[in-house]
Structure 1
Amino acid sequence: MPTPLLQVDDVSLEYADGARIVRATHRVSFDVHEADRFVLLGPSGCGKSTLLKAVAGFIAPREGQIRLDGKAVQGPGPDRVVVFQEFDQLAPWKTVRQNVVFGLRAAGRISRADAIARADDALSRVGLIEFADAYPHTLSGGMKQRVAIARALAMQPRVLLMDEPFAALDALTRQRMQGLLLELAEQLRFTLLFVTHSIEEALVVGTRVLLLSPHPGQVRAELNAHQFDATSGASVAFQQATQRIHRLLFETPVEAAEPTPLRARQEATP
């Protein structure tokens, strides 16, 4: 097996809640390889978003280590770009194109002309080049998320991090955005770490899905989802996989939730 691009080894994360220290995750381990679409799935409060922030470098692990390309993650960097759920990720005083260009220029890696060319290419891929000179307040929620995705892809990160990016969208727009993300992944072969609490979205978006127990998040199982895509929702196999994941997440006894080594956890969906 090739060396994983991203390695999360026995990571425990904590945060302050008033006078208390709360453990968000407990000894979570997983590997993400090049071009994986890896999904962290679990109920609210299981620490999946906290894990994503730790991979982004915003939070330091209490225990364990996170490595990218074999090197310990010490803080944020342009090799990891995050797309959040909120629609206010864009600077309202900048045009769509300027929002995409800003990240590239702030990283100080390319000239203005090259940044504009890369921004326009990214906007074309998400179907928004005609809105390059528009301002964020004129866009719908789905369009704003497409701009956020374009901005992230233009950075050409080693890992694209997405924290429930479609959760606030209506059902139809959410489905279209999932389809767009899969198309972009096919075209660009980027590596994705995606957080969701939707079982159906995890199976559609992911090639691999890590199930986390309720608080504090511990690994329940790791499943393959290569066989599913945006058209799989009505299939018997998809419904069976959904039901199985629900049982693993919510019906497994707490005492059985102690994480086991990664190789022992890997299993295929029916």
Structure 2
Amino acid sequence: MVATGWQEQQALAAAALPLLQVRDLTLEYRSENRTARATHEVGFDVLEGDRYVLLGASGCGKSSLLKAVAGFLPPRSGEILLQGVPVREPGPDRVVVFQEFDQLPPWKRVLDNVAFGLIASRQCGRDEARERAAHALATVGLSRAADAYPHQLSGGMKQRVAIARALVMRPRVLLMDEPFAALDALTRRSLQEELLRLWAELRFTLLFVTHSIEEALLVGSRVLLLSPHPGRVRAELDASGFDFANSGSAAFQAQQQRIHRLLFEL
């Protein structure tokens, strides 16, 4: 069937839309005695293939924003749109990698941990799920660990498995909540480099939370700065010109200092 002019215009308009739109989002946590506001009217757009970083001090609501995008935390006001459709609940098009190492069921071997989401969501049969899981493990350099149990892995290896488990789902947006914060400095740098290598190969869309200015500039192509509690948008910066090769440059240091001033100097 040949597309009409109107259909072509609609397709072009859809392609031009940001993949993810966050509009005037206010998030709150309510208990019987009090209400705590996490963010206040936060808005931003994430384009297809972006490495978009939410950066701010503890308590600025960046993890709450990630939970809301994942569908775990309903907004007090505002909205989240994925390809123009409101986000109401969790879905396989958004997969989260958390900071905690113990996010892998300990009774499952590594290969079965990676395949589990595919099987549970009925995206494919068990054999295909295991085949795709094996490929994902090879992508993160863990083929030899396929038959190991999580307790036999180091912290860095567990995070590689968690990344493989997320990527095997082929999500529209990969959500990462300070995934390397608890690792030692050398392992953290190794996994940052691994993440960027995977992005260059697969070109997924990344929404990444961190409180490290250096990590934000290294991992992100764009960085949203959030003010302290409750989180408000302070600024959005282009970080696409920075990488590991120029992380010691005067320009990199100057951008770090600028971000520090924007975050902490009122």
TM-score category, normalised to shorter length: over 0.9
Q: For residue 232 of structure 1, report the CA deviation from its aligned partner.
A: 2.6
Residues 1:72 and 2:51 are matched in the alignment: no
More helix as a share of residues: 2
Aligned to 1:16: 30
The residue number in structure 2 matching 1:47 is 61
Partner residue in 2 for 1:57: 71
Q: How does 1:89-128 map to 2 (within 5 A)?
A: 89-128=103-142
Alignment gaps of 5+ in structure 1 = 254-270
What is the match of residue 220 of structure 1?
234
Partner of 1:86: 100
1:199 alignment partner in structure 2: 213
Moved more, 83-92 or 225-234: 225-234
Residue 209 of structure 1 aligns to a residue whose secondary structure is strand
Q: Using a 3 Å threshold, how does the CA distance of structure 1 residues 92 and 209 change in structure 2: closer, same or farther?
A: same
Matched position secondary structure for 1:15? strand
Report Cα offsets for 1:62-96 as digits up to 9, x if no partner: 01000001000010000000000000000100000
**5+ long unaligned stretches in structure 2:** 1-14
AA at the equivalent of 2:48 = E
Paired position in structure 2 for 1:170: 184
Whether 1:131 aligns to 2:145 is: yes
Q: Which position in structure 1 is the counterpart of 2:41? A: 27
Cα deviation digits, residues 114-147 of structure 1 (max 9, x gap): 1111101110011001100000000000000000
Deviations 1:18-49 (A, max 9, x none): 61101100000000010000000000000000
For residues 82 and 123 of structure 1, what CA distance do their matches in structure 2 show?
17
Output the TM-score relative to the length of structure 1. Answer: 0.92
Amino acid aligned to 1:230: F
CA separation in 2, counterparts of 1:78 and 1:54? 14
| AA of the residue aligned to 1:194 | F
- TM-score norm. by structure 2 comes to 0.93
CA distance in 2, matches of 1:7, 1:18: 32
What's the offset of the Cα at 1:16? 2.4
Mapped partners of 1:193, 1:225: distance in 2? 14
| 8 A Cα contact 1:38 1:206, kept in partner | yes
Q: Is the 8 A contact 1:175 1:230 kept in 2?
A: no
Match of 1:179 among 181, 188, 193: 193
Hey, what's the Cα distance between the residues in 2 that align with 1:17 and 1:111? 42
Cα distance in 2 for partners of 1:232, 1:91 equals 39
Determine the C-alpha separation between the residues in 2 that align with 1:69 and 1:237: 35
- One-letter code of the match for 2:57? P
Paired with 2:188 and 2:98, the residues of 1 have a C-alpha distance of 14
Aligned residues: 252
Q: What's the secondary structure of 1:178's corresponding residue?
A: helix
